[in-house]
């Protein structure tokens, strides 16, 4: 199933989210910031995180009266997309990446210093939108996710060049850096949908998010014909580390048309 099919029931909500997103990042009267913001919005994206917010709210409120304010739901969806975008801007600086979504990255065009501050600016716009939702539980949920994301990034940077990186440590990095925000999107959406058991949604989504990211990483490793910027800077995935060790020990990686796996992974 394609994302367009999954998004079909919330197509109007995502269009509204795009409008809020554009209005938010282009709010500055400074022409340079407006130009950077406009270029950022043109890069597109899958919009997975805002879709999870909206779908989770609808799922949590299904079959009962919901007190969810639609404008607040769209602002929250826009905020999590801005958080994701800001994290990518900072990631490109750390990785020394020159391309993002088939276009030159901001750090490649304007330098690392501008990229770091611009990423901070996007984070500030995200929190501005979350504040307008006027829900302390949502604010706490997203704040904890961002804390986890930063912690995961710090752990990953600290582990640069570590070819003995364990599977458990790698999963911890993935869970904090990526799965935590995916889980928070569903959890926050369910909070707005007045779901009394939203903690269940959070728990399930952590597991789903972790598996989704691991599967994506394995597919990219199998399909990629070029070395990633992160790898050039010593950011080692557990898959790469195991492949390296297996090569040194003259063992083989079993690969077929759908999976890439190690015999003891």
The full set of domains in the chain, from first to last, is 3-261 (1.10.600.10)
Place of tokens 């950011």: 235
Q: Distance between CA 247 and CA 218 in Å, rounded?
A: 17
Q: How many CB atoms lie within 10 A of CB 183?
A: 26
Which stretch of 160-169, 194-203, 233-242 has the lowest confidence by average pLDDT?
233-242
Structure-model confidence comparison of residues 243 and 252, the more confident one: 243
What are 39-87's pLDDT values in tens digits? 888 777 889 999 999 998 888 887 666 678 899 999 999 999 999 999 9
Average pLDDT over every residue of 237-252: 51
Q: How many CB atoms lie within 10 A of CB 188?
A: 32
Average pLDDT over every residue of 8-21: 95
**What is the pLDDT at residue 26?**
84
Encode 79-95: b = buried (16+ Cβ within 10 Å), e = exposed: bbbbbbbbbbbbbbbbb
**What is the pLDDT at residue 172?**
86
**What is the pLDDT at residue 78?**
97
Work out the mean pLDDT of the chain and round it to a whole number.
Answer: 79
**What is the pLDDT at residue 120?**
96
**What is the pLDDT at residue 70?**
92
Which stretch of 47-61, 124-138, 197-211, 249-263 has the lowest confidence by average pLDDT?
249-263
Q: What is the pTM of this model?
A: 0.80
Q: Distance between CA 232 and CA 219 in Å, rounded?
A: 19
% residues pLDDT > 70 (the chain): 72
pLDDT at 191 exceeding the cut of 60: yes
Say whether 49 sits in a helix, a strand or coil. Answer: helix
What are 141-158's pLDDT values in tens digits? 999 999 999 999 999 999
Relative to beta strand 254-255, strand 103-104 is unpaired
**What is the pLDDT at residue 202?**
59
Q: With the CA atoms of 54, 55, 60 and 66 taken in that order, what torsion angle do they form, in degrees rounded to the nearest 10? A: 40
pLDDT at 89 exceeding the cut of 90: yes
**What is the pLDDT at residue 174?**
84
Average pLDDT over every residue of 21-31: 89
**What is the pLDDT at residue 38?**
83
């Amino acid at each position: 199933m394609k994302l367009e099919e999954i998004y079909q029931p919330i197509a109007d909500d995502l269009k509204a989210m795009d409008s809020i997103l554009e209005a938010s990042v282009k709010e500055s009267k400074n022409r340079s910031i407006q130009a950077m913001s406009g270029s950022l919005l043109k890069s597109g994206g899958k919009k997975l995180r805002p879709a999870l917010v909206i779908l989770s709210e609808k799922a949590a409120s299904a079959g009962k009266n919901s007190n969810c304010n639609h404008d607040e739901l769209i602002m929250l969806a826009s905020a999590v997309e801005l958080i994701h975008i800001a994290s990518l801007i900072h990631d490109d600086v750390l990785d020394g990446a020159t391309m993002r979504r088939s276009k030159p990255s901001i750090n490649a065009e304007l330098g690392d210093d501008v990229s770091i501050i611009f990423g901070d600016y996007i984070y500030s716009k995200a929190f501005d939108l979350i504040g307008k939702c006027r829900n302390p539980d949502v604010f706490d949920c997203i704040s904890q996710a961002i804390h986890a994301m930063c912690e995961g990034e710090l752990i990953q940077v600290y582990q640069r060049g570590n070819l003995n990186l364990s599977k458990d440590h790698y999963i911890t990095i993935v869970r904090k850096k990526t799965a935590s925000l995916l889980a928070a999107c569903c959890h926050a959406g369910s909070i707005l949908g007045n779901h009394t058991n939203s903690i269940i949604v959070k728990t399930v989504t952590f597991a789903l998010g972790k598996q989704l990211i691991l599967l994506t990483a394995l597919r990219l490793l199998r399909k990629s014909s070029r070395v990633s910027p992160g790898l050039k800077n010593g950011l080692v995935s557990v898959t790469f580390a195991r492949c390296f060790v297996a090569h040194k020990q003259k063992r083989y990686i079993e690969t077929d048309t759908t999976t890439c796996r190690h015999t003891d992974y």
